[in-house]
Amino acid sequence: MALDSKVPKGPIKDKWTDYKNKIDLVNPANKRHIDVIVVGTGLAGGSAAATLAELGYNVKAFAYQDSPRRAHSIAAQGGINAAKNYQGDGDSTYRLFYDTVKGGDYRSREANVYRLAEVSANIIDQCVAQGVPFARDYGGLLDNRSFGGVLVSRTFYAKGQTGQQLLLGAYSAMNRQIARGKIEMFNRHEMLDVVIVDGKARGIIARNLITGEIERHSAHAVVVGSGGYGNVYFLSTNAMGSNATAAWKIHKKGAYFANPCYTQIHPTCIPRSGDYQSKLTLMSESLRNDGRIWVPKNLEDVIAIREGRKKPTDLSEDERDYYLERRYPAFGNLVPRDVASRAAKERCDAGYGVNQTGEAVYLDFASAIERYGKEQAKIHNISNPTADKIYELGQAIVEAKYGNLFQMYEKIVDQDPYKTPMMIYPAVHYTMGGVWVDYNLMTTIPGCYCIGEANFSDHGANRLGASALMQGLADGYFVLPYTIGDYLSGDIRTGKIPTDTKEFDDAEKEVTDRINFFVNNNGSKSVDYFHKKLGKVMWDKAGMSRNAQGLTEAMAEIKAIREEFWKDVSVPGTADEMNPELEKAGRVADFLELGELFAKDALMRAESCGGHFREESAELDGPQKGEAKRNDEDFAFVAAWEYKGEPADAVLHKEQLEFKDIELKQRSYK
């Protein structure tokens, strides 16, 4: 199948405007005759559902949680990017575009990223109008802070609860449309298959997670906004319910999957404390604005700290290695996430990890507290303040900026981060890969769209901090509502899509047969047993450090785990009731397929990029070989592959790796 990205011609800054001026539209009177299904109600799905309903379409929205308010978008902490240049520090649409493409190791689709930068400012206006309580400065204007990989302050935030506040904004917009009858909300429902009729996506098969009932739902288009697949590693910062099922089901029905091995390893997570854990906890990247990352310079001090003979506060400045500031002076502690993660792992692998497992570095706020304290003392005209007074004033400022994050850390670790440095370590967070989409956000299945983290288009091999919320809301509020109309303009006379057809019969039978297998298998091992085994293979052999031998072994081991899973998995309970183990079984079955594809993609990419270090870079011949290398100071690539101006992306379908049939050339980036 030939892939057509449908990127408009012309200068990149004009593409989106010219495109909107020329696409077909559906007039308001006809929109009420068209149905759209939206799967997932996080920031991408929720904003899309609300906006499509506001435009007049009939929307069916599906969430596996009790409420859209429980979507994992609520967990986002640090902020959302937008090119408004409120700080007057040189930001612009182009600079946001450039930072995003460069931060993604030049592996994003540039036209999509420029559009994202263009609409970013509109997102903030939309959310302020919804009442999102963004932080404000002393004059009442919206405040900004910095995130990794950039030299400007463009991140809007609501303390450490930005995702929650933005999600409540989208949820309020959805509620208005639910009250009007334009959105039919299906909470506690999970999409288990997409239905293709005459080559087009025309509906889904869903399971009511309360009653177990299998339901058929039809529409003229299906939109998947179900998030990423980080839980393929078992341990990640994602909620335990986050899964890849919706995206994987459309892949198995013909939607291509792109870049599955591009996973973001977030540098500031609370380290694991044992094998019993089921998830990891994220500490916002915003903490790197004021926190300094370090490890002891001397191994003797590391051992003394691990054994409890020394505290980190006992070490003088000269005994500390602020390794990010030392290696990357231009960016310091605000290097991109992949650089910070790989640097932390390198220090810990060298034996400088400071906790009992040897997998932790320090994130220290002592300098910030002192700096803010002295500043506040001057503001309040306090002459010769005592050290205690400086500490008190400085802590109040840090608490105002990050208080809920510090509170969360103290509850989990039982240490006061105001008085002793936080411990952090990299963990799986976000997935840049996902379902392949064109410029319209349509997959390779006509009428099936994919938005937000579930698609692959905007972040290349690494996502800059505070860009996930930006992409989700851009897709839902400002991109999809335009592009989907161009497709739906051909359906104004189609009428309702019937569900009593062979296509729906076949899809429902496939779903039912799989469910019946799980509840009747009578195996001896739990679903979590297999999920943990998969996660260990993924982290050990397809995580931050990779090589051909390990990835080849990972593919064989995952295949063996999958075969054992289908023979020996045990799912208690029945299918006609609320059964969380049955839900998990289906999701882990999908992860076991995705995991092998993930490893295959990583094997074919003999390169280091994003958060992944390839121990050998020249094993394979062909376009996938060129290793990209960063300059420590400005992270510019000296070489990367491109397709006629667009970075190379691997597109995978039915476990085959296919590169676009276009001649490759090398290009230098400065």
d(CA 256, CA 446): 12
Strand pairing category for 221-224 and 448-450: parallel
Alpha-carbon Rg of the chain, whole angstroms?
A: 25
Q: What is the DSSP letter of 12?
A: T
> In DSSP terms, which residues pair with 59 in a beta bridge?
36, 183
At residue 658, the 3 state secondary structure works out as: strand
d(CA 589, CA 573): 18
Q: What is the DSSP letter of 475?
A: I
Closest CA to 393 of 360, 418, 430: 418
Burial class of residue 248, CB neighbours in 10 A (0-12, 13-18, 19+): buried
Residues 6+ apart with CB under 8 A from 254: 196, 444, 445, 653
Closest CA to 229 of 606, 501, 587, 613: 587
Distances in Å between the Cα of 96 and the Cα atoms of 151, 180, 290, 441, 466 are: 10, 37, 22, 21, 12
d(CA 593, CA 608): 24
Could you tell me the strand order of the sheet in which 422-431 lies? 263-269, 422-431, 361-364, 292-296, 320-321
d(CA 324, CA 30): 57
Distances in Å between the Cα of 183 and the Cα atoms of 53, 179, 285 are: 6, 8, 35
In what helix (H) or strand (E) does residue 36 lie, and over which residues does it extend? strand 35-39
Confirm whether 207 is a catalytic residue.
Answer: no
Strand pairing category for 545-546 and 613-614: parallel
d(CA 398, CA 290): 8
d(CA 196, CA 251): 12
d(CA 670, CA 667): 10
Residue tagged active-site, from 145, 337, 614, 630: 337
Catalytic residue list: 337
